[in-house]
Amino acid sequence: MQRTLVLIRHAKSSWSNPMESDFDRPLNERGKKEAPEMGERLKAIKLIPDLIISSSSKRTRQTAKRIAKEVGYDAEHIKWEEKLYHCIPTIFEEVIYGIKDSVKTVFIVAHNPGITDFVNQLSPDFRIDNMPTCGIVCANIEAGQWTDFSTAKRKVFLFEYPRKDDNT
């Protein structure tokens, strides 16, 4: 059975208040604009989640809610996972193992450097130096259940980010 894993780094955050804790940093104006734009891109290619899981930091919550709105996902059903806050790749797998098998497409919103490290482990055919803010990596996972993730055939099929077209 094919499942789809969509990994999203939070949108651009604000550094305007140097006294604010990292966990509580909100999105800046660019981030507030780019998160819904990326949601629109996902909707346009018919990538609609059955579940959204997000780090519980302020900027990831704001990113997840903006993307959810654009893809028609009820933000009240987003699952908040504090352990995704600046986590290592094995935590992503732990979160994936906990997904119900009825979920076919999952979005996970998290942080660097862990998200870059994790996406680089998805497939031997895919490697990036840095997951940009509001960057998206999508992979097909051939698995009967999410607990088969570590041994499943995985193939990255999309790498998108807000200013991608500016780099060509």
Q: Per-residue pLDDT tens for 47-101?
A: 999 999 999 999 999 999 999 999 999 999 999 999 999 999 999 999 999 999 9
* Burial (Cβ within 10 Å: 0-12, 13-18, ≥19) of residue 115: buried
Tell me the fold of 2-167.
Answer: Rossmann fold (3.40.50)
What is the rounded average pLDDT of the residues 104-130? 96
pTM equals 0.96
Distances 121 to 49, 89, 111 between C-alpha atoms, Å: 22, 8, 16
Would you place residue 122 in the very low, low, confident or very high pLDDT band (cuts 50, 70, 90)?
A: very high
